[in-house]
Amino acid sequence: MDWKETEYAGWGRALRAKGTVARPDTRRALGALEPAPAFGMRRSYGDAALNSHGRAVDMSGLDRLIAFDPDTAELHAEAGARIGDIASAFAPRGWLPAVMPGTGFATLGGCIGQDVHGKNHHHMGSFGQHVTEITLLQKTREITVTPGSALFKATLGGLGQTGTILRAKIRLIPCKGDVMVVTERRAPDWDSHLALLDASTASYTVGWIDATATGDSLGRGIIEEGESAAGIVKPRKGARKVPFNAPHFALAAPVVRAFNWAYYHRVPAHGRSLVRPLQDFFFPLDKIHDWNKLYGQRGFHQFQCVVPLEQADTLREMLVEIAASGLASPLAVLKRMGPGRAGYLSFPMEGYTLAIDFPNRPAARALIQRLEARAAAAGGRLYFAKDSLAQGAQIAAMYPELPDWQTEVAKADPAGALETDMTRRLKLRSAT
Amino acid sequence: MNSSWIILGATSGIARAVIRKLAAQGHGMFLAGRNMAELEAIAADCRLRGARMAEVMAFDARDHSNYGDLIARLRDEEGELNCAVFTGSMPEQEAIDTDPSMIEGVLADSLTGPATFLTMLAPLMEERGCGAIAGVGSVAGDRGRLGNYVYGAAKSGFATYLSGLRNRLGRSGVHVMTIKPGPVDTPMTYGMELPLMTTPDAVADDILNGLHRKTNVLYTRKIWRLVMGIIRVIPEPIFKKMSI
Mean pLDDT of all residues in chain B? Answer: 95
Cβ-based burial of B205 (10 A; exposed 0-12, middle 13-18, buried ≥19): middle
Q: What is the domain extent for residue B64?
A: 3-239
Question: Is the CB of B191 less than 8 angstroms away from the CB of A25?
Answer: no
Residue B66 lies in a domain: yes
- Half-sphere exposure (CA, 13 Å, Cβ side) for A340? 21
Question: Is the CB of B44 less than 8 angstroms away from the CB of A1?
Answer: no
pLDDT at residue A179, rounded to an integer? 93
Of A29, A67, A85, the CB nearest to B44: A67
Question: Is the CB of B191 less than 8 angstroms away from the CB of A1?
Answer: yes
Q: Are residues A289 and A223 in the same domain?
A: yes
Which CATH number do you get for residue A201?
3.40.462.10
The whole-number mean pLDDT for each consecutive block of 10 residues of chain B, a chain of 244 residues, reads: 95 96 97 97 97 98 98 97 96 94 97 98 97 95 92 97 98 97 89 88 96 97 91 92 85
By C-alpha distance, the chain A residue nearest B25 is A89
Point out the domain boundary residue: A176, A209, A241: A176
Of A4, A26, A92, the CB nearest to B38: A26
Question: Is the CB of B191 less than 8 angstroms away from the CB of A4?
Answer: yes
pLDDT digits (tens, 9 = 90+) for A10-41: 999 999 999 999 999 999 999 999 999 999 99
Q: Are residues A158 and A183 in the same domain?
A: no
Give me the percent of chain B exceeding a pLDDT of 70. 100
Contacts of B191 in chain A (CB under 8 A): 1-4
Answer for the pair A175, A89: CB distance below 8 angstroms, yes or no: no
Which CATH number do you get for residue B198?
3.40.50.720
- pLDDT range class, residue A322, cuts 50, 70, 90: very high
CA distance A168 to chain B (A): 15
Closest CA to A42 of A88, A104, A105: A105
pLDDT at residue A1, rounded to an integer? 66
Residue A2 lies in a domain: no
Rounded CA separation B98/A110 (Å): 46
- pLDDT range class, residue A220, cuts 50, 70, 90: very high
Point out the domain boundary residue: A134, A154, A176: A176
Of A1, A2, A68, the CB nearest to B48: A68
Q: Are residues A172 and A314 in the same domain?
A: no
Mean pLDDT of all residues in chain A? Answer: 95
Q: Are residues A134 and A259 in the same domain?
A: no
State the ipTM, two decimals.
0.91
Residue B92 lies in a domain: yes
Contacts of B49 in chain A (CB under 8 A): 65, 85, 89
Q: Are residues A142 and A200 in the same domain?
A: no
Q: What is the domain extent for residue A164?
A: 65-176
Of B45, B50, B190, the CB nearest to A4: B190
Residue B99 lies in a domain: yes
Give me the percent of chain A exceeding a pLDDT of 90. 88
Q: Are residues A191 and A151 in the same domain?
A: no
Total domains, chain A: 2
Question: Is the CB of B41 less than 8 angstroms away from the CB of A66?
Answer: yes
Q: Are residues A207 and A235 in the same domain?
A: yes
Our CA angle for B59, B64, B68, nearest 5°, is 85
pLDDT at residue A369, rounded to an integer? 96
Q: Are residues A269 and A135 in the same domain?
A: no
Residue B30 lies in a domain: yes
Question: Is the CB of B24 less than 8 angstroms away from the CB of A88?
Answer: yes
Mean pLDDT, rounded, for A62-69:
98
Q: Are residues A372 and A232 in the same domain?
A: yes
Mean pLDDT, rounded, for A345-358:
97
Residue B97 lies in a domain: yes
For chain A, positions 72-131, list CB contacts with chain B under 8 A: 75, 85, 88-89, 92
Q: Does B48 touch chain A (CB under 8 A)?
A: yes
Distances (CA, A) of A117 to A126, A128, A337, B13: 5, 9, 9, 32
Contacts of B22 in chain A (CB under 8 A): none
Residue A7 lies in a domain: no
Contacts of B24 in chain A (CB under 8 A): 88-89
pLDDT digits (tens, 9 = 90+) for A104-148: 999 999 999 999 999 999 999 999 999 999 999 999 999 999 999
Q: What is the pTM of this model?
A: 0.94
Beta-carbon neighbour count of residue A243 at 10 Å? 9
Q: Does B193 touch chain A (CB under 8 A)?
A: no
Q: Does B190 touch chain A (CB under 8 A)?
A: yes
By C-alpha distance, the chain A residue nearest B200 is A61
Rounded CA separation A89/A102 (Å): 18
Total domains, chain B: 1
pLDDT at residue A236, rounded to an integer? 67
Residue A229 lies in a domain: yes
Q: Are residues A172 and A193 in the same domain?
A: no
Q: Does A4 touch chain B (CB under 8 A)?
A: yes
Mean pLDDT, rounded, for A353-382:
96
By C-alpha distance, the chain B residue nearest A5 is B191
Contacts of A85 in chain B (CB under 8 A): 49
- pLDDT range class, residue A237, cuts 50, 70, 90: low
Residue A58 lies in a domain: no
Residue B244 lies in a domain: no
A195 pLDDT more than 70 = yes
Q: Does B44 touch chain A (CB under 8 A)?
A: yes
Which CATH number do you get for residue A71?
3.30.465.10
Closest CA to B184 of B159, B205, B214, B170: B205
Q: Are residues A223 and A274 in the same domain?
A: yes
- Half-sphere exposure (CA, 13 Å, Cβ side) for B135? 31
Q: Are residues A148 and A110 in the same domain?
A: yes
Point out the domain boundary residue: A134, A153, A176: A176
* Range name among A84-88, A248-252, A286-290, B83-87 with the lowest pLDDT average: A248-252
For chain A, positions 196-215, list CB contacts with chain B under 8 A: none
**Sequence-separated (6 or more) residues with CB below 8 Å from residue A331:** A285, A302, A355, A356, A357
